[in-house]
Amino acid sequence: MGEAHVQHRELPDIENVEVVEKQHLLPRVQQLAARGMRFITTTCIDNGEQFEVYYHFDHHLELTHLLVTIDKNEALPSITPVYFSAFVAENEMKDLFGLRVDGLNVDYQGRMLVSEEVPAPPMRKKEASERRNGDGS
């Protein structure tokens, strides 16, 4: 059904992504701040086994990204000593994914957006065994 016309194109991806380890995160962010980069936000993606955390920066309308991959029960250092306004995005990751972040200057203890009646972090993917048991969400 028209398969002959389908070109094999590469998957679209974002440019300027730099992979860093957890222990090099704060020094690298300090280097970016010294160059005058503006902090945009962080994104957390749950790919089943681990969390992939992206940090997005901008310098005169050009984007740069840092990528840190960690396990679900590890803790990340907070970048609020360098960028004060990061506490909003990092608290949101704590609430919605249950990701542990240490050293926040303003810490809402996981209750900034999510109230006490919610039992588990809402945006985590369920484990594969739970999904097979018919819990379709």
Least distance from other proteins to the Cβ atom of residue 33, Å: 8
Q: Which of 22, 26, 54, 77 binds other proteins (CB under 8 A)?
A: 54
Measured from the CB atom, the residue of 23 and 60 that comes closer to other proteins is: 60
SS (H, E, C) the chain: CCHHHCCCCCCCCCCCEEECCHHHHHHHHHHHHHCCCEEEEEEEEECCCEEEEEEEEEECCEEEEEEEEEECCCEEECCCCCCHHHHHHHHHHHHHHCCEEECCCCCCCCCCCCCCCCCCCCCCCCCHHHHHCCCCC
Q: Which positions from 97 to 126 touch other proteins by CB under 8 A, shown as an x/- string?
A: ---------x----xxxxx------xx---
Distance of alpha carbon 97 from alpha carbon 72, whole angstroms: 9
For position 61 contacting other proteins by CB under 8 A, the verdict is: yes
Q: Which of 30, 31, 50, 85 binds other proteins (CB under 8 A)?
A: 85
Distance of alpha carbon 134 from alpha carbon 98, whole angstroms: 24
Q: Which of 25, 29, 32, 39 binds other proteins (CB under 8 A)?
A: 39
For position 70 contacting other proteins by CB under 8 A, the verdict is: no
For position 135 contacting other proteins by CB under 8 A, the verdict is: no
What are the residues binding other proteins (CB under 8 A)? 9, 11-14, 33, 36, 38-41, 43, 45, 54, 56, 60-61, 63, 83-85, 87-89, 96, 106, 111-115, 122-123, 137
